[in-house]
Structure 1
């Protein structure tokens, strides 16, 4: 069976906007079926309607899920299994990055509540999604897991808060652990680390923060969600079967680990 066929099931967390929605669209264009979830019902409805209109409602599965609520994650994957079957592709994209009017919370003012909230979504939520999806991949001897990190977890952070940075940096260690555990079972685990991308989370393109970012990016612009989605899409394909444990930076040259 070709993994680009409509038999292939992909899950994209945080798939209702920005990079996640662009990734869902990319996977659907390739021929996959795609299950997405997000926390805001209005975004879920909007994304489901748009994707269903373009690719057919029979190939789109969308639900509201709060990654901080483990029972909702379990319910999502159980319902997906009953409707379509087990996922072969998992893109862990959902994440939160709390900021106030003046930017992220200063380190000494971070509350335990904020710290735990960020890690529960960005890191623990990713772990729980992998726990739900990987047994099915093992059973099929095929799986593609892509974790969406961040330039903030790769270089000195310029915009992101401490909890967000810690959660994204931790994904590399988490990926290594999965690779060691599932070696030889047809499963690859990779990380894509976007830089400054033009999404709702990044705010208006002409904001002071974004203009400062563009000034330091060698490419001279912000990235587009579709550019990150293309990298994710390749890592989930058959052609990327020998890429395992890589971190792909998509940042226009802002961080160059050469």
Structure 2
């Protein structure tokens, strides 16, 4: 039996993790602002919702108080907000508001640090703890992203992984950063890979592929250390 905590799990990739990773009898704590539909699934997995806004400075304390010493085996920080017009044709970095920039950095970077910090005691109780941070190809060298705050936050996530890995190495906790390209989050997990391939070919990654990758990492023994995985789409010309 494993205990999971998944951040950003009310929809998209986070919801796919909730549906695809825990097995019957496992417990999963779902961190999100809005109530996740996955709570309604009757699949033998014990699901617990932590309603919290990660932009709040009190979020990490609230989450830690909810767990209250419960052992965690897997922590997945799957959070990544971006500029409100960041992926529109007329996006212009020079028009980004300072408040929006600060919020992107806080939610994507500061919250990741503080939440993991508060939950390390829970992870240290596990016999084979794993921390997985979901980055982006936007955080890799020579990407063509012009969304500066988003890209900077994903670069920072890689730095968090590198230093955190050294900090918890003595505790046998694995820390992995996964940097995917564009994901087909608009096609629900349960609708399968074939639908994504038919609609997008090699231009978007099926949710199932990332779930399978994470499942592999969390099932490795504590003797293995998977540092970082880059996962662009097959037809990504910038990969």
**Normalised-by-shorter TM-score class:** 0.7 to 0.9
What is the match of residue 67 of structure 2?
Answer: 80
When residues 197 and 221 of structure 1 are mapped into structure 2, their CA distance, relative to the original with a 3 A threshold, is: same
Q: What residue number does 1:23 align with?
A: 17
Contact 1:195 1:252 in 2 (8 A): no
TM-score with structure 2 setting the length: 0.83
User: After the TM superposition, which residues 184-195 of structure 1 pair with which residues of structure 2 at under 5 Å, given as runs?
Assistant: 184-195=170-181
Identify if the C-alpha distance between structure 1 residues 139 and 131 changes in structure 2 by more than 3 Å, giving closer, same or farther.
same
Q: Deviations over 1:47-86 (max 9, x none)?
A: 3223xx2335xx101122111113133212221236xx13
Q: Counterpart of 1:220?
A: 202
- Say if 2:3 is the partner of 1:9: yes
Mapped partners of 1:79, 1:255: distance in 2: 44
Contact 1:88–1:142, Cα closer than 8 Å, also in 2: yes
Corresponding residue SS for 2:169: coil
- RMSD (CA atoms): 2.6
Does the CA-based 8 Å contact 2:71-2:125 persist in structure 1? no
More helix as a share of residues: 1
DSSP 3-state at the match of 1:96: coil
| Deviation readout 1:203-253 (Å, 9 max, x if unpaired) | xxxxxxxxxxx6xxxx63411112112112221223474123222425335
Q: Does residue 32 of structure 1 match 2:18?
A: no
Please give the alpha-carbon distance, in whole angstroms, between the structure 1 residues aligned to 2:155 and 2:55: 19
> Are 2:51 and 1:67 equivalent residues in the alignment?
no
Instruction: Say which of 251, 254, 257 aligns to 2:233.
Output: 251
- Check 1:28–1:162 CA distance in 2 against 1; reply closer, same or farther (3 A cut): same
**Distance verdict in 2 for CA 1:254–1:221, change over 3 Å:** closer
Q: How far did 1:159 drift?
A: 5.3
Q: Which runs of 5+ in 1 are unaligned?
A: 202-213
Matched, 1:99 2:84: yes
Note the 1:137-216 alignment, pairs <5 A.
Answer: 137-140=123-126, 142-158=128-144, 161-200=147-186
Give the TM-score, by structure 1 length: 0.77
Partner of 1:207: none
Equivalence for 1:124: 110
Q: Does 1:109 align with 2:95?
A: yes
Aligned length: 226
Q: Deviations over 1:18-41 (max 9, x none)?
A: 1111111122237531111112x2
Moved over 6 A (4+): none
The whole-number CA distance in structure 1 between the counterparts of 2:141 and 2:182 is 13
Residue of structure 2 equivalent to 1:49: 40
Which residue number corresponds to residue 233 of structure 1?
215
Q: Tell me, which stretches of 5 or more residues in structure 2 are unaligned?
A: 188-199
| 2:137–2:230 CA contact under 8 A, matched in 1 | no
